[in-house]
Structure 1
Amino acid sequence: MSSNKAVVCPEPGVVEVIDTPFPTFELTDGPGVNPANVGRKVPHGVILRTVATNICGSDQHMVRGRTTAPTGLVLGHEITGEVIEVGRDVEFIKVGDIVSVPFNISCGRCRNCKEQKTGICLNVNPDRPGSAYGYVDMGGWVGGQAEYVLVPYADWNLLRFPDRDQALEKIMDLTMLSDILPTGFHGAVTAGVTVGSTVYVAGAGPVGLAAAASAQLLGAAVVIVGDLNEDRLAQARSFGCEGINVAHGDPADQIEQLLGVREVDAGIDAVGFEARGHGHGAGAAEAPATVLNSLMDLTAAGGSLGIPGLYVTGDPGAADEAAQKGSLSLSLGTGWAKSLSFTTGQCPAMKYNRALMMAILHDRIHIAKAVNAQAILLEDAPRGYAEFDAGAATKYVLNPNGYLNR
């Protein structure tokens, strides 16, 4: 086999499907590949035929030109696949296994991996801790929005589904295990959500909806989701959340109308660095610190903020010079005065994915329905990106090899 089609961004605002090399067990030069990784041998890896690979809001930031991602980078870090070839050092993963790939690439050997901090592995990115497939400054590992993809440290990284037929039956749910479900769950866990909690989730995109569904799974009494997009708010309401449109005013005012108080027990930021101001309609100007400062205001003293929303250190499209470097005008004094806790950074997907797999397999959560997952062909990726960028209340799942037709 030598052919492989993949999704790339050749210039800001443009998505294309191209022919790209079939993966091998050695890293080769290409867009975004760290020079120190070129020639790196991967005998511990496997090659997957992609079963499903999803379009993520984090991909959208790169397509919009809001990161320092190089042109031509193969996109995609949400990967589910079938093993078709194993490296010589792979012991437990077998050809034919259906597996979920955590979006964090981790070695399983370093101190951070051994402490379950797989989002900041020390060995897979020569520049800094942490790596991912097809993402800016993440070590240059090729993305998974493709027909075939290489996964390193396979025995460590891959989550094998216990039954092939069952996995394919529930594949639209299980494909969310690579990123958004663990990420949303991490946001809820780090926000301190527990039985009886009142929760506010900023953002009704797929990660926000996953965080809301996760809060319900954890036993929250009330989950409130805020956004500017009425279609996405309707999606949140479809599985039992309250929805508030932040274009209509201060979220705290609207929370008070629902709960009788202006604060919640736990706050989750699922928006990130392209946040817009509140109370100014759908055309509100970008104000990247808006969500974080709002969450500090409306989270009760002693509470916690889970921040799965993406923030970057390089944003050429930011509104001012400080924000271009990731420096935001945070009201840290508010956080200090209220003794709030904050958790940011990549979700360590492996910490949660097996437990969440069991919740899916035993019908404790229906995440595909919650995020309105829809399968489209790989060649339809440009349309999926365009519709998602326009605000579609949909999680697009690419179907490169026909598994989702079965």
Structure 2
Amino acid sequence: MAGNRAVAYKGPGTVEVIDTEYPTFELKDGPGVNPANVGRQVRHGVILKTVTTNICGSDQHMVRGRTTAPTDLVLGHEITGEVVEVGPDVEFIKVGDIVSVPFNIACGRCRNCKERKTGICLNVNPDRPGSAYGYVDMGGWVGGQAEYVLVPYADWNLLKFPDRDQALEKIMDLTMLSDIFPTGFHGAVTAGVGVGSTVYVAGAGPVGLAAATGALLLGAAVVIVGDMNADRLKQAASFGCETVDLTKGGPAEQIEQILGVPEVDCGVDAVGFEARGHGKDAGHEAPATVLNSLMEITAAGGALGIPGLYVTGDPGGIDEAAKKGSLSLSLGTGWAKSLSFTTGQCPVMKYNRQLMMAILNDRVSIGKNVNAKAIGLDEAPQGYAEFDAGAATKFVLDPNGYVRN
């Protein structure tokens, strides 16, 4: 029996590479696994040898101790892999296929899945709609920052790349299809971005840069990205975005300097619940800052796409309300301006095939735009530390040497 190694959360601020079990076609008890899922048979699944698996800002929320994630939880929901075993109920996916794994785990059978709402599948998480690999309160499906990982409902969930050699050649772009590219694109789509739009993206981390890339792909006339990190703003500028330095104050005045008016057609929140104040308050956590500022600067009748993560349990919240995910939103502003809001997990399968085609046909270079960098599995703790410190880099783990060989 083959072994397995994986990246595990060991407590606030700490991840380690551990020896763990090779996956089987049955869910076993372990950190974060919902008791109702223990013993669940996965005859419809496959086992992947991981090609790439990325460090995500959502993982960082857990690693910082800002969720209720249990110690020893195996991390990782951004997975690309090669099929090495197939369950007896798998019909179309074959050994040797190179595939992208949507971070949403979906059954393909429930009402929501049939309506393309795969981010809120009803059958994969006994606690609530929606599930993901290696994430707190998401059903306990083992994470993919590992050498091998189990993927359920393989015929439904997996996006097979049409040509192995082409896929491996473009893997630093294709690896973004599991989460951040569709997630950022979803933020732009739900914000109403179209040809000629002016767009403000709050946050120049990888999801924000993916949202900016998506906005440009959708035909936006001007994409403005706001952040407090100079290196990340420089990365946004490298592929044609205007930038706003939020250490100098809120976005409205700086947007007016760019556009001539202090508002945009479309707003995207790519920051989430660990947002900080602007200007003189830049060093202080203020979780409603981004949402309230977006309502102020988005034109009446516009929309906000909110791919940034918000949680119902935050042990590090600034007050009792924030610890439960309750924020002081200026909902009256949103109501008065007839703004629309879209929140929640991106339904990855709604977008991943189209974005794959854009990558394979050289219409977009998402890996370059987010400054993707491949590192070995043993370098994961360093990658987490550098990302947490603000590196303008999307770290791509290469557990089995596919990228480097």
- Compute the TM-score of the two structures, normalised by the length of structure 2: 1.00
- Whether the 8 Å CA contact 1:248–1:281 is kept in 2: the answer is no
Q: How does 1:305-320 map to 2 (within 5 A)?
A: 305-320=304-319
1:298-346 per-residue CA deviation (whole Å, 9 max, x = no partner) reads 0000000000000000000010000000000000000000000000000
**Aligned residue in 2 for 1:263:** 263
**Aligned residue in 1 for 2:215:** 215
SS at 2:166 equivalent: helix
Give the AA of the match of 2:377. Answer: L
SS at 1:293 equivalent: helix
- Whether the 8 Å CA contact 1:118–1:348 is kept in 2: the answer is yes
Give the AA of the match of 1:353. Answer: N
1:238-293 per-residue CA deviation (whole Å, 9 max, x = no partner) reads 000001111101200000000000000000000000000011265x2000000000
Q: How does 1:72-87 map to 2 (within 5 A)?
A: 72-87=72-87
Q: How does 1:140-289 map to 2 (within 5 A)?
A: 140-280=140-280, 284-289=283-288
SS at 1:280 equivalent: helix
**Aligned residue in 1 for 2:135:** 135
2:240 and 2:382 mapped to 1: Cα distance? 30
Gaps of 5+ in 1: none
Q: Does 1:342 align with 2:347?
A: no
**Aligned residue in 2 for 1:95:** 95
Give the AA of the match of 2:273. Answer: F
SS at 1:243 equivalent: strand
1:288 and 1:11 mapped to 2: Cα distance? 23
SS at 1:405 equivalent: coil
**Aligned residue in 2 for 1:321:** 320
1:247 and 1:208 mapped to 2: Cα distance? 17
Q: Does 1:386 align with 2:385?
A: yes
SS at 1:335 equivalent: helix
SS at 1:165 equivalent: helix
SS at 2:403 equivalent: helix
1:250 and 1:11 mapped to 2: Cα distance? 34
**Aligned residue in 2 for 1:117:** 117
Give the AA of the match of 1:164. Answer: R
- Whether the 8 Å CA contact 1:228–1:281 is kept in 2: the answer is no
Give the AA of the match of 2:29. Answer: D
1:135-193 per-residue CA deviation (whole Å, 9 max, x = no partner) reads 00000000000000000000000000000000000000000000000000000000000
SS at 1:401 equivalent: coil
1:194 and 1:302 mapped to 2: Cα distance? 15
1:235 and 1:137 mapped to 2: Cα distance? 33
1:50-106 per-residue CA deviation (whole Å, 9 max, x = no partner) reads 000000000000000000111110000000000000000000000000000000000
- Whether the 8 Å CA contact 1:191–1:268 is kept in 2: the answer is yes
The farther-off stretch of 226-235 and 244-253 is 244-253
**Aligned residue in 1 for 2:11:** 11
**Aligned residue in 1 for 2:67:** 67
1:230 and 1:148 mapped to 2: Cα distance? 37
SS at 1:295 equivalent: helix
Gaps of 5+ in 2: none
SS at 2:212 equivalent: helix
SS at 1:316 equivalent: coil
Give the AA of the match of 2:124. Answer: V
SS at 1:18 equivalent: strand
Give the AA of the match of 1:135. Answer: Y
Give the AA of the match of 1:396. Answer: F
SS at 2:279 equivalent: coil
* Identity of matched residues, %: 83
- Displacement of 1:10: 1.1
C-alpha spacing 1:335/1:281, structure 2 compared with 1 (3 Å): closer
2:266 and 2:180 mapped to 1: Cα distance? 19
Give the AA of the match of 1:341. Answer: S
SS at 2:295 equivalent: helix
Give the AA of the match of 2:295. Answer: M
2:250 and 2:79 mapped to 1: Cα distance? 38
**Aligned residue in 1 for 2:396:** 397
- Displacement of 1:405: 1.1
SS at 1:403 equivalent: coil
- Whether the 8 Å CA contact 1:176–1:367 is kept in 2: the answer is yes
- Displacement of 1:2: 2.8
**Aligned residue in 1 for 2:298:** 299
1:250 and 1:376 mapped to 2: Cα distance? 36
1:212 and 1:245 mapped to 2: Cα distance? 16
- Whether the 8 Å CA contact 1:197–1:266 is kept in 2: the answer is yes
**Aligned residue in 2 for 1:30:** 30
1:354-404 per-residue CA deviation (whole Å, 9 max, x = no partner) reads 000000000111000000000000000000000000000000000000000
Which aligned segments of 4 or more residues in structure 1 are displaced greater than 4 angstroms? none
